[in-house]
Every structure is written in structure tokens, then in C-alpha cells.
């Protein structure tokens, strides 16, 4: 029953470059569906998808829900708060109970790294990782890559710098794996306290000064600075972070070329990114949101269906 | 079983057939008013473009046209699984009260046309939908028929019809080949 991506989408690390390209190529025609008056195709009619969100999320959850609904799937949202999870039920028990109600796919977000894989190994439904701890957020990386490809065409040799809290960022990890597989050059830039030790082993360049990153890059992917990092002592203050690492109009003006600006959202305007940049002509932040729905439709489509034993039976019936 | 492929249409015959189909489309619609020609991905799209060019040259009018990819409307996702390549759908015209003619290369089981009819319904309510195909090879599994047929041939289930067109394949030709020669 494994389709072109296998049973699950757990991360970018296990994917081949061809599989990544397949998702991006498939996402392109899906964009047109969201432009139609009737924004719906019958592809996943009859499939039931559970969105299991153990961690707060607005954009990703809504984006998945739009993608599911535009493919005609039936969807159920389970949030940790107010569900049996808050009564102490384990992840596996929650999922097994859902499976007993005959579901086809689970989209899971969880604060524990590896939660998606743990679930995928224990249930028969397709599992899509919508963010697990500090491990991976594959659909975010895929939509970032699609947005960059829209701008650059081929990503080979393009220079993408990820700016900010790389240490805690599953978006950064998924992006680094994906972009390097597609042949891009990847760098990271941020305070040393927010960069993982031995990050160079992932094949990236490290910049300690944002000015150097801006001079080097074709695009910046500016990460959200989690405000609780300040309380935890990783950075002295938000104001200082903005002064040293903030992506500002004044800094970009000195760049040798126009930089494409990405941000996975939600933004802290005036902290990691200034409003004139976020709303500027080279910002593709809203294109990322549009592409997010298309990429998730592509992933759902590529994981769905494909029961070879049924196909064989159908063929015999036809002959 | 290695029978040599037989040519059904060569380049000149294909061109003649398309010209006749273009004439029949104009005749069927009593002109070009509200006419929209829609090709089915893949080769139907290029055949539709040629038919549009022929009609435009003869009738001295502009004819609306579009492309339809029916992959997402197939009825075999659960069995066969996802087709890896989804083509583009582009229907830049409101289809309400239009006279739509669907163009496809080969009509066989009718399942593609069934999917196309479902998809068109999501774009509006045409006053009429007609079907024009280059080859009707028989073997229908649904109650669907073509209004305009380029060439009707009987093809055994073990054989397939290959349509080659200049735009995608570098040559114009229609062949019958046995199925086990499939690449």
C-alpha cells in the first residue's frame, strides 16, 4: 500500500531529492483549485482524516484543514486541551481509539520529538508529521522550498540563510535537509547560544553577523524568536536581539542583490523582522501561506489510496 | 505475441481528420457563438489547440479554449493509487450557458469522460456539452458516446492505441500495438 512517498510523511530527512521534487511538482496544479469558484475536488471523498494537535497551532492546523476539505475528505480536529488527553490518556491509546472508529489518516503535532514516528509505527493509518518537538516540520520545509522555487526556478547553487533560533527550530532542520538535497547552499545565522553545537556537520555555513549573511545570501528564511527564550537566558533582551540580528530595511539596503524574505510565522514584528521588510516588495511571506495549502494537498494526495491488491482484483474483473 | 504495430492514421490523414472534426464542431453548434473547446490532458489539449486554430482560420473568429486534467476526479485512487503527475487545469472562462466541446485522443472505457463531466460541472453549467474524439476504439464500461469521431476502429482488449503528436512526440501518427510491447 506504499505510494510514491511510502505510508507516512514523518520528515524531510528520509526523503530522496526525487520525492521532494515530486511533492513540489504535484503541488503546482493544486494551487489552481484554490482559485476556483468551487474550491473542491472529489479526490479524497470518503476518506476520514484526524488532525491531532497536542500543541497550539493556528496556521498549520487551518492550512491542513483547508487542504483536506478542498480534497473532499471528512475531517475531525482533536486538540489536546479539553480532550481525553488532558485526562492522562497516552498517545497510542488516543490513536488506537480513533482508529477503531475507522479513520484513514492522522495529522499529528506534538511537543515530543519523534512522536509522529512513534505513532506511525503503531497504527495502520497514514501519518503526517505537522511538527514534532525540535525534530521536523516537513510540510513547512516543503512549502518554503516551493516558494523559493517559484522565485528562483532551480535551487541548485542558490544561497539560503536561515536566521534566528536554529537550536529549537524543527523548521530549520527540515529546511536544511530539504534545501541541501535540492542542491542549494545553506547557511545559518544567529546568536551562538541559539545555534546547535556542531551545526556545521549538517553541511551548512555559519555566520555570526547578520551583515555577513545578508551579503552572502539570495534568500533569508527568518525564524520566529520564541519569546520564552529570553526568560530562559538564551538572549539578553528582545531589543538587543533586534539591534544585533534583526532583519531590517536599513541592513537589506546594503545587500549586493535583492534578497527574497521568508518567515514561517507568526512574526514578531520589530524583533526578528521589521515591518518594512515583512511587507516589502521582496517578502514572499503570504505566498508561503498560499503554497502551504497546495503542498499539503499534494502530500495528502500522494499518501492516499494505492491498494495494489484491489488494483489486481479490478484488473482481473476487467479482463 | 509480437504483431507489428499497424498505422491507423499517418500525419496527412491525421491532419485531414482534425479538419473534418473542426468542421463538424462548427456545424454541431451552428456557428462559433458561445463555443468553448476543452482538451483533456495530455494529448487532448494539443489536439484541441489544433482544432481551435483550424476553426479560427476558417471562421475568422476567436474561439475560447481550455485544458482539463481529470486526475483528481478519477474513480481508481483507492485501488491504483495516486498518479504521480497531475497536469494543469486551466479554464479561464465562465462556462455558464456556454456550448462546451470536450476533445480527447482516444475514447475507450468512458471513465475519463465521466470524470471530465464531473469536473466541468464544478466550473459552471454549460448549456450543452459535446464530446469529440480522434479515435473511438470501443470497449465502453459506461453509457457514454462521442458526438464527433475522427476514426472508429475495433481494437481487442489486449491491444492498445498509441497517439503520437508532433508537439509532444515529434511526429504525427496513430498506431495499434499489442499491449505487451508497453514500455
Write the pLDDT tens digit of every residue in A96-153: 898 899 999 999 999 999 999 999 999 999 999 999 999 999 999 999 999 999 999 9
For A51-94, the pLDDT digits (tens) are 999 988 889 999 999 999 999 999 999 887 766 666 667 888 88
Across the interface, do A305 and B88 touch by the CB < 8 Å criterion?
no
B33-53 average pLDDT score: 96
Which CATH number among 2.60.40.420, 3.10.105.10, 3.40.190.10, 3.40.50.2020 corresponds to the domain B12-76+88-155?
Answer: 3.40.50.2020
Contact of B1 with B30, CB cutoff 8 Å: no
CB contact under 8 A, B122 and A43: no
Q: Chain B contacts of A36, Cβ < 8 Å?
A: 122-123
In chain B, which residue's Cα lies nearest the Cα of A1?
B81
Chain A residues touching B88 at Cβ < 8 A = 28-29, 32
Report chain A's mean pLDDT, rounded to a whole number. 91
Chain A residues touching residue B78 (CB < 8 angstroms): 304-305, 307, 310
What pLDDT score was predicted for residue B179?
76
- State the cell numbers at A283: 517578502
Residue of B71, B82, B119, B141 for testing the chain A interface, max A β-carbons within 10 Å? B82
Q: To probe the interface with A, which of B74, B78, B90, B140 has the most A CB atoms within 10 Å?
A: B78
| Residues of chain B above pLDDT 90, percent | 81
Helix (H) or strand (E) holding B91: none
> What's the angle, vertex CA A44, arms to CA A303 and CA A315, rounded to 5?
75
> What pLDDT, on the 0 to 100 scale, is given for residue A2?
64
Confidence of residue A319 (pLDDT cuts 50, 70, 90): very low
Cβ pair B88:A29 closer than 8 A: yes
- For B77, the closest of A43, A314, A318 (CB atoms) is A43
- Whether B11 has a pLDDT exceeding 70, the answer reads yes
pLDDT in tens, B85-120: 788 899 877 899 999 999 999 999 999 999 999 999
Cβ-based neighbour number of residue A125 at 10 Å = 21
Name the residue in chain A with its Cα closest to that of B71: A43
**Nearest chain A residue (CA) to B157:** A319
C-alpha cell at A105: 489518516
Q: Cβ B78–A302 below 8 Å, yes or no?
A: no
Cell representation of residue A21: 521534487
CB spacing of B86 vs A308 below 8 angstroms: no
Percent of chain B at pLDDT > 70 equals 96
pLDDT at B16: 97
Q: Is the pLDDT confidence value at A204 over 80?
A: yes
Residue A155 near residue A145 (C-beta atoms within 8 A): yes
> What pLDDT is stored for residue A82 in this prediction?
63
Helices of type H across chain A: 17-33, 59-70, 91-100, 115-120, 138-152, 170-181, 210-216, 228-231, 238-245, 249-253, 275-278, 285-303, 308-318
Ordered domains of chain A (ranges, CATH):
17-137+291-306 (3.40.50.1370), 140-289 (3.40.50.1370)
Amino acid at each position: 500500500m506504499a505510494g510514491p512517498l511510502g505510508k507516512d510523511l514523518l520528515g524531510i530527512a528520509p526523503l530522496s531529492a526525487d520525492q521532494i521534487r515530486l511533492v513540489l511538482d504535484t503541488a503546482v496544479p493544486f494551487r489552481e483549485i484554490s482559485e476556483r469558484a468551487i474550491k473542491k475536488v472529489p479526490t479524497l471523498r470518503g476518506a476520514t482524516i484526524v488532525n491531532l494537535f497536542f500543541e497550539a497551532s493556528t496556521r498549520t492546523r487551518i492550512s491542513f484543514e483547508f487542504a483536506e476539505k478542498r480534497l473532499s475528505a471528512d475531517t475531525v480536529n482533536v486538540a489536546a486541551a479539553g480532550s481525553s488527553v488532558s485526562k492522562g490518556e497516552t498517545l497510542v491509546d488516543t490513536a488506537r481509539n480513533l482508529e477503531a472508529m475507522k479513520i484513514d489518516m492522522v495529522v499529528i503535532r506534538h511537543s515530543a520529538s519523534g512522536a509522529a514516528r512513534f505513532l506511525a509505527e503503531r497504527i495502520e493509518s497514514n501519518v503526517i508529521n505537522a511538527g514534532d518537538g525540535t525534530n521536523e516540520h516537513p510540510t513547512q520545509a516543503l512549502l518554503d522550498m516551493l516558494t523559493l522555487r517559484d522565485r528562483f526556478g532551480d535551487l541548485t547553487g542558490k544561497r539560503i540563510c536561515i536566521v534566528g533560533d536554529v537550536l529549537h527550530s524543527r523548521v530549520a532542520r527540515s529546511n536544511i535537509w530539504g534545501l541541501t538535497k535540492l542542491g542549494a547552499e545553506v547557511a545559518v545565522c544567529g546568536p551562538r547560544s541559539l545555534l546547535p553545537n556542531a551545526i556545521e556537520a549538517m553541511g551548512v555555513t555559519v555566520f555570526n553577523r547578520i551583515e555577513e549573511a545578508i551579503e552572502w545570501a539570495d534568500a533569508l528564511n527568518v525564524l520566529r524568536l520564541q519569546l520564552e527564550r529570553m526568560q530562559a537566558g538564551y538572549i539578553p533582551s528582545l531589543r538587543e536581539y533586534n539591534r544585533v540580528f534583526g532583519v531590517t530595511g536599513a541592513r537589506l539596503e546594503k545587500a549586493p542583490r535583492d534578497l527574497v524574505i521568508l518567515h514561517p510565522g507568526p512574526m514578531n514584528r520589530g524583533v526578528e523582522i521589521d515591518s518594512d521588510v515583512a511587507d516589502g516588495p521582496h517578502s514572499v511571506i503570504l505566498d508561503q501561506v498560499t503554497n502551504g495549502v497546495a503542498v499539503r494537498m499534494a502530500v495528502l494526495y500522494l499518501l492516499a489510496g494505492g491498494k495494489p491488491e484491489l488494483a489486481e482484483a479490478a484488473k482481473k474483473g476487467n479482463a | 505475441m509480437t504483431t507489428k504495430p499497424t498505422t491507423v492514421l499517418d500525419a496527412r490523414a491525421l491532419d485531414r481528420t482534425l479538419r473534418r472534426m473542426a468542421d463538424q464542431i462548427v456545424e454541431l453548434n451552428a456557428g462559433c457563438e458561445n463555443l468553448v473547446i476543452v482538451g483533456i490532458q495530455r494529448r487532448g489539449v494539443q489536439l484541441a489547440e489544433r482544432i481551435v486554430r483550424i476553426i479560427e482560420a476558417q471562421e475568422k473568429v476567436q474561439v475560447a479554449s481550455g485544458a482539463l486534467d481529470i486526475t483528481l476526479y478519477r474513480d481508481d485512487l483507492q485501488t491504483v493509487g495516486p498518479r504521480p503527475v497531475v497536469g494543469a487545469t486551466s479554464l479561464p472562462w465562465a462556462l455558464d450557458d456556454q456550448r462546451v466541446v470536450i476533445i480527447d485522443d482516444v475514447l475507450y472505457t468512458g471513465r475519463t469522460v465521466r470524470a471530465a463531466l464531473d469536473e466541468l460541472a464544478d466550473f459552471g453549467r454549460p448549456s450543452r456539452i459535446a464530446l469529440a474524439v480522434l479515435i473511438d476504439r470501443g470497449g465502453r464500461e459506461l453509457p457514454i458516446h462521442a458526438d464527433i469521431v475522427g476514426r472508429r476502429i475495433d481494437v481487442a482488449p489486449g491491444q492498445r492505441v498509441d497517439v503520437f503528436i508532433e508537439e509532444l512526440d515529434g511526429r504525427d501518427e496513430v498506431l495499434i500495438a499489442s499491449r505487451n510491447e508497453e514500455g
